[in-house]
Structure formats: C-alpha cells, structure tokens
Amino acid sequence: MCKGADGVPEYRNGNPGNSKDCKRLNLPDVVTVPGSRAGGASSGGKSVASTSPTSFPRVDSATQKSRDSERRTVLETELQTEEARLAGLRAEYNNGEPERQGGERNYQKYLDRVARLRDDITRSEANVASLRRELSGLKD
C-alpha cells in the first residue's frame, strides 16, 4: 500500500517500488468455495414439466370459450380499424405524390410529410399483418 501525492491510499500488485510512503501488506490467501448447483440441475440436462398446484384457479370450458370469443371480436374490430386507417393513409399518400397543403410552401415541409406518411403506412401494414397473424392462431 502506498500513499499518493494527494494522500489517497493506492493498492498495487507486486513490488511497491522505491517510494518512501509504501509498505508491503501481508494478507492471508483468498479461499474460494465452489457454489452449489440449483436443485435438479445435475440430472443430466433432462427437464421435467412442472405441474400446476392444486390451488391454481381453473376456468371451465364455457367461460374460456366466452373469453376466446370476446378476444376474437376485439381483434377483428382492431383489424377493421387498422385496415381503414391504412386505406386512408394510402389515399393521402397517392403513390408517393400527395397533394400539397397550404402550409407547405417550403418544399422540405412537403418532403417531411411524405416521409411521415410512408413511415405511417409501413407501421400500419405491420400492424395489420400482426393482427391477422394473431387471429389465425386463435382456435375456432
């Protein structure tokens, strides 16, 4: 251990050098203990599916069907809304040449709006695809 120029202790590995303010520390060796394995981790990598406890709440099939039906209805409504939004965005985009608006006398503002519309269309298309994928995964 050495003291630096500002009086802060410095710990160094190895020879402290010729510094007058250094002294060697004799510390005991560090002892390491291997950690224990989590329960069952040494079973050769075989995983066992855990069963739910008996106190876990169960839902009868009629209630589950009702929930599934409600979920399907919500997803279909969201899909219709998103498809309508996408149609509106595509109409406004007009194949990359939307009508100029009054506040867009500056050409850069027009280009910014075109880029925003393009991004909105891409996002909306991804939303529609996601909703369709989710609907296709539902049980009938």
- Is 63 domain-assigned? no
Q: Is the pLDDT of residue 74 over 90?
A: yes
Distances (CA, A) of 40 to 46, 48, 50: 9, 10, 13
- Is 101 domain-assigned? yes
Residue 106: domain span: 77-136
Secondary structure of residue 22 in the 3-state scheme = strand
Secondary structure of residue 40 in the 3-state scheme = coil
Q: Is the pLDDT of residue 11 over 90?
A: no
pLDDT band at 5 (very low <50, low <70, confident <90, very high): confident
The predicted pLDDT at position 135 comes to 94
- Is 107 domain-assigned? yes
Q: Work out how many domains the chain is built from and give that number.
A: 1
Mean pLDDT estimate for the chain: 84
Residues 109-131 have a mean pLDDT of 95
- 19 close to 2: Cβ distance less than 8 angstroms: yes
- Is 124 domain-assigned? yes
- Is 50 domain-assigned? no
pTM summary value: 0.56
- Is 99 domain-assigned? yes
pLDDT, tens only, 14-61: 666 666 678 777 778 878 888 887 765 555 555 556 676 778 888 898
Distance from chain centroid for Cα 37: 30
Q: What beta strand segments (E) does the chain contain?
A: 2-3, 9-10
Q: Is the pLDDT of residue 114 over 70?
A: yes
Distances (CA, A) of 101 to 37, 90, 107, 122: 68, 16, 11, 22
